[in-house]
Amino acid sequence: MSQYHLHTPLSEEDVKALRAGDVVYLSGIIYSARDKAHALMRRSGSPVGLVGAAIYHCGPLIQKGRVLSAGPTTSGRLARYTEEMLQQGLRAIIGKGGLPAEPFRGRAVYLAYPGGCGAAAARQLEVVAVFLEHLGMAESFWAFQARDFGPLIVAIDSQGTDLYREARESTSTSTSGPTRA
């Protein structure tokens, strides 16, 4: 397991160097998007270029331009948008709970951020801009300046290694109960 300090926009080389289990701290612009923003971008396109970008599946709490909380939302709800977002050049998706690994192969990574750490995330994010503001605070498309945002765990690497799948498989092959001597 290695540790990386990366900066957006991420290059192809950046993501191809990462392996499942590595720890990443990310600086630069990170975007947040949830269900409504993804659906609107599907219909109308992204308000920003996504080549090399990182999107955080998050519904932040923001007051007077300051991030108060920015915990991850469950990425599985957004799985239907993964392929088209990656086709636009997105290099990293950040969230919790995992996504199917296949779309990431050869081009991007899925970075897991611990649920329940919204206040900690807020310390590392500063609002730069908001797009699609009419969707409401949690659903708007936010641009944040990140400073060593993390720790993020590479849960799916660009080779298709998926920590969530490995955990499920190891659980299904383990014994179902304690053994007695």
* Residue 126: count of CB within 10 angstroms of its CB: 14
DSSP states of 72-141 as a string?
A: B-BGGGGGGGHHHHHHTT--EEEEBS---SGGGTTT-EEEE--TT-HHHHHTTEEEEEEESGGG-TTTSE
Q: Give, rounded to a whole angstrom, the gap between the first and last alpha carbons of the chain.
A: 35
Q: Are the beta carbons of 99 and 93 closer than 8 angstroms?
A: yes
| Active-site residue, from 5, 7, 38, 57 | 38
What is the C-alpha separation between 94 and 74, in angstroms, rounded? 10
Q: Is 146 helix (H, G, I), strand (E, B) or coil?
A: strand
Q: Is 7 an annotated catalytic residue?
A: no
Gyration radius of the chain's alpha carbons: 17
102 by Cβ neighbours in 10 Å (0-12 / 13-18 / 19+) ranks as: exposed
Q: So which residues are the catalytic ones?
A: 38
